[in-house]
Amino acid sequence: MSSRRPWRLAGALVLSFGLVACGSTGPTGSTASTGSAASGGTEAGAAGTRVFTADNGDVTIPASPKRVVATGYAVPVLIETGAALAGVSSWQRGLPLMTAEQRATYDNLPKIAGETAAETNYEAIAAAKPDLIVIGVPKPVLAEINLDRLKSIAPVVAIGPTTPSGWREQSRRQADAAGRLDRFDAAKSAYEKKAAELADKYRSALNGLKFGHVGAYGEVAKGTFHREFAGSWGTNIAQDIGVTYYGEVKKKGGGALDVTEYPSIEELPESLGEADAISYTVDPDGSVSEAVQYVLDSKLWKNLPAVKAGNVFPLRYTEAATYGSALTTLDAIDRALAPLRDR
């Protein structure tokens, strides 16, 4: 339910308040229900329930949910894995990463919330008659949601983002809750296979190169740019093929602020002067946002060693948060880095 901009900018501030992923029970973050685990005792287990460890604690959920409502970051992974969805929140930021089939599924599902937690439509959720509700927002944002009201409708599991690269475990837990780990694992395997192939393809070209990355959320009015380090949105998938992003934030603020910062434009030489190559975020259609163009137009940018050497690479689809969509990102990275390999 969180929107694209709040996660990348304001959302980073939310995550700075010490948000961490809840511990999981076993490799999947859930356990089969037992006589002491569920309110129904052994009868609950016989009825097909289990206890799932979520951000909001241990929750008894259906072992095989039949009508799932998903919000926020849970939306794309549950569409991809074919969960039995009865309604979803709006997820505009992910539309460019959906296949035609996934987009059709998304378009045809009832929308039970907007782009923010404050836009939750409780009546629409009740009308969807879910047997499970999966909330995919950062833990601090749960305060904006009436969980008691949702719990009166169906069991609620909250599984939200932590750091940007955490989408791997986050999406796995969401698929697990919806009973779709088999399809999740297939997508994960396909991604890892492709990433390994690209790592082999670019090993020589990337050897010894230090990269920096300019993200899309600097604020021109404030004279800042967006520097992303290893583990951030613009970097974490490229890292899987062997791109090395150097440096770290000056002061870690927790969550996304552990891997991203917003220096003044005057700090470009200090921030990126040691980079052998620089990648930067562009929109899905390849266009450059105002914040990134502000950097590209700067005389300080033009004087950076990596820029003078022509080692600058625009990256599309940097906001992938599922293994399926990250395959698209890998293709985009391959196209972007092709000139480096061909030299």
Closest by CA position to 322, among listed 195, 170, 159 = 170
Domain 4-179 matches domain 187-342 at the CATH topology level: yes
**Region 79-86: what's the mean pLDDT?**
98
* Per-residue pLDDT reduced to its tens digit, 113-135: 999 988 999 999 999 999 999 99
In this predicted structure, what is the pLDDT of residue 43?
38
11 or 218, higher pLDDT: 218
Whether 56 has a pLDDT exceeding 50, the answer reads yes
In this predicted structure, what is the pLDDT of residue 204?
97
**Region 221-226: what's the mean pLDDT?**
98
What is the residue whose two structure tokens read 């990256």? 315
* Per-residue pLDDT reduced to its tens digit, 260-280: 999 999 999 999 999 999 999
Cβ burial of 302 (10 Å; 0-12, 13-18, 19+) is: exposed
* Domain 4-179 class in CATH: alpha beta
What is the pairing mode between strands 277-281 and 85-89? unpaired
* Per-residue pLDDT reduced to its tens digit, 146-191: 999 999 999 999 999 889 999 999 999 999 999 999 999 999 999 9
**Region 69-79: what's the mean pLDDT?**
97
Element (H, E) at 203: helix 181-206
**Region 338-343: what's the mean pLDDT?**
86
19-23, 199-203, 297-301, 335-339: which range is least confident on average? 19-23
Task: Write down the CATH number for the domain with range 187-342.
Answer: 3.40.50.1980
In this predicted structure, what is the pLDDT of residue 15?
36
Q: Which residues pair with 226 in a beta bridge?
A: 215
Whether 38 has a pLDDT exceeding 90, the answer reads no
In this predicted structure, what is the pLDDT of residue 94?
95
pTM of the model: 0.86
Question: Angle CA(187)–CA(104)–CA(185) in degrees, nearest 5?
Answer: 10
E strand intervals along 159-249: 211-215, 226-228
Average pLDDT, the chain: 88
Residue 47: pLDDT band by 50, 70, 90 thresholds? low
Domain parsing of the chain, residue ranges: 4-179, 187-342
